[in-house]
A = this chain, B = another copy of it.
Amino acid sequence: MYRYKPVLRIPGPVPVPNEVSLQMAKPMINHRGAYFKEHYPAVLARLAPLFGTKNQIHMVTGSGTAGMEVAVSNLVSPGTPVLCLVGGFFGNRWAELCKAYGASMHVLQFAWDGGVDPGKVSEYVKEHPEIELIFMVQNESSTAVLNDVESVSKARGNHSALLVVDAVSALGGTPCEMDAWGLDVVVSASQKCLMTPPGTAFVAFSPKAREYSAKCQASRYYMDLRLYDRYMEKSETPFTPNIHNVFALEEALNMIEAEGLENVYARHILMRDMMRAGARAVGLELLVKDEDASPTVTAIKYPNADGFRARIRERYGVEFAGGQGAHANNIFRVGHMGYATPLDVLAALAVLEVDMKRYGQATQAAELVMDA
């Protein structure tokens, strides 16, 4: 019905501001030329406050998963004992990546509707002094859970394991304090809270992680951190980068800096609280408790959610995300990250309210599309 103006309310890729999109159409430049050598390190420096780090940040042309694999392929040798903290689809992705690199696997499973429990991590690593690397997700977008990375980091106590964090759907939407929290690797990507088209991952290694990676035996080339370090000396990337993502990110950072990072984080909290209060008010049940709730995406229980989503897309032009893994077809997820405002949340809630009035929480929503 309103499909001529689609509204993307998924947890990435997010709508890109026009100002940012237009940067993608700039004329081509030489990635070994003066302009790139000026703008590339400049944009990385502007990302530093979002990472909360003085460590070198690298851009790798690829998806967020490519960024995760940069971490794994520079750290995990065959047989390396790793601990993956899994409470959703992306925690599970860490486990799949580590398995693919022949790690000696330890996996702590958490329920797919809550956060990682730092106490359990603390117990586990005490019993397993051999663990060298811990992998976790800051914002588990599949369940709409924000994990407490700082507490997990502290839960290591004196244990020497490095902590590797997927901040793909978190960075820029919620604080990440890599240095203050003692994180060893942080990975993110362009197409979430950074409001930039997909195509680039960001990776930062602590000095400890860099030192540890020097002895890594994994086969790697495109993702070899040493090449990125070497080329960074001349303000270049080792391989032809997604040049226009640099331009786009500059514009996105203009907007983030103009708003102020603290205000950006507060806006995400407000959107989270609005979305949750509104969903409850129309009689829907949230997947996640308040204390674990993500500021960038909200998961709402709904039987036959995929049929419901099709109806919402059809009638209002609004695209919600479905459930993943254990939650396929029994939740829907509303993205409110990056280029999203409280007004966008109000619009999403209005759609929910109108739809609930008309259909209630229908279990055969797919059929109802036909009547609409």
Residues of A within 8 A of B (CB): 6, 8, 10, 12-16, 18, 21-22, 24-31, 33, 61-66, 69, 72-73, 78, 96-97, 100-102, 189, 191, 197-199, 218-224, 238-245, 319
Contact = CB atoms under 8 A, between A and B. Distances in A.
Contacts of A238: 65
Contacts of A242: 197-199, 242
A197 to B, nearest CB: 5
B243 A198 contact: yes
Contacts of A73: 219
Q: Is the interface of A mostly helix, strand, loop or mixed?
A: loop
A223 B69 CA distance: 10
A15 B30 contact: no
A63 B240 contact: yes
- In order of increasing CB-CB distance, the 8 nearest A-B pairs are A24-B24, A63-B239, A199-B242, A21-B25, A25-B25, A100-B221, A63-B240, A65-B239
Given A61-B62, A198-B242, A219-B100, A14 B33 contact: no
A22 B65 CA distance: 27
Copies in the assembly, this chain = 2
A33 B319 CA distance: 9
Contact of A69 (B22, B61, B222): B222
Contacts of A199: 61, 199, 242, 244-245
8 contacts: A6-B27, A12-B240, A18-B25, A31-B198, A62-B222, A63-B239, A64-B239, A101-B219
B27 A24 contact: no
Contacts of A191: 28, 240
A258 to B, nearest CB: 21
Given A61-B66, A61-B198, A240-B64, A8 B22 contact: no
A221 B28 contact: no
A224 B100 CA distance: 10
